[in-house]
């Protein structure tokens, strides 16, 4: 178990993509474009992620990039 400050680069990028998707759905009523998803790391700043997920405890299975192998 770990906090947002312990995330790997890949986990942070995945969380930024998820945040962007949820934010655009809520605020603009649309899904992100493929360009926006691919560039979520540049669109969403680290501090937004730190602020929004500071009280969350993560495990590897929370992320596709570190989830256990599916048989």
What pLDDT score was predicted for residue 65?
A: 84
Predicted confidence at residue 68, as pLDDT, reads: 67
Give pLDDT, residue 69. Answer: 55
Under a CB-based contact definition with an 8 Å cutoff, are residues 24 and 32 in contact? yes
Task: Say how many residues make up the chain.
Answer: 71
Other beta carbons less than 10 A from residue 59's beta carbon: 10
pLDDT in tens, the chain (71 residues): 999 999 999 999 999 999 999 999 999 999 999 999 999 999 999 999 999 999 999 998 999 887 765 44
Q: Which two tokens stand for residue 50?
A: 């730190």
Positive or negative: CA dihedral 5, 41, 68, 55: positive
pLDDT number for residue 71: 46
In this prediction, residue 66 carries a pLDDT of: 79
Give dist(CA 30, CA 22) in Å, integer.
9
């Amino acid at each position: 178990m770990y906090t947002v400050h312990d995330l790997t680069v890949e986990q942070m990028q995945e969380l930024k993509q998820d945040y962007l998707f949820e934010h655009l759905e809520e605020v603009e009523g649309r899904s992100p474009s493929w360009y926006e998803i691919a560039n979520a790391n540049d669109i969403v700043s680290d501090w937004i992620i730190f602020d929004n997920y500071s009280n969350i405890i993560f495990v590897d299975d929370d992320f596709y990039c570190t989830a256990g192998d599916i048989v």
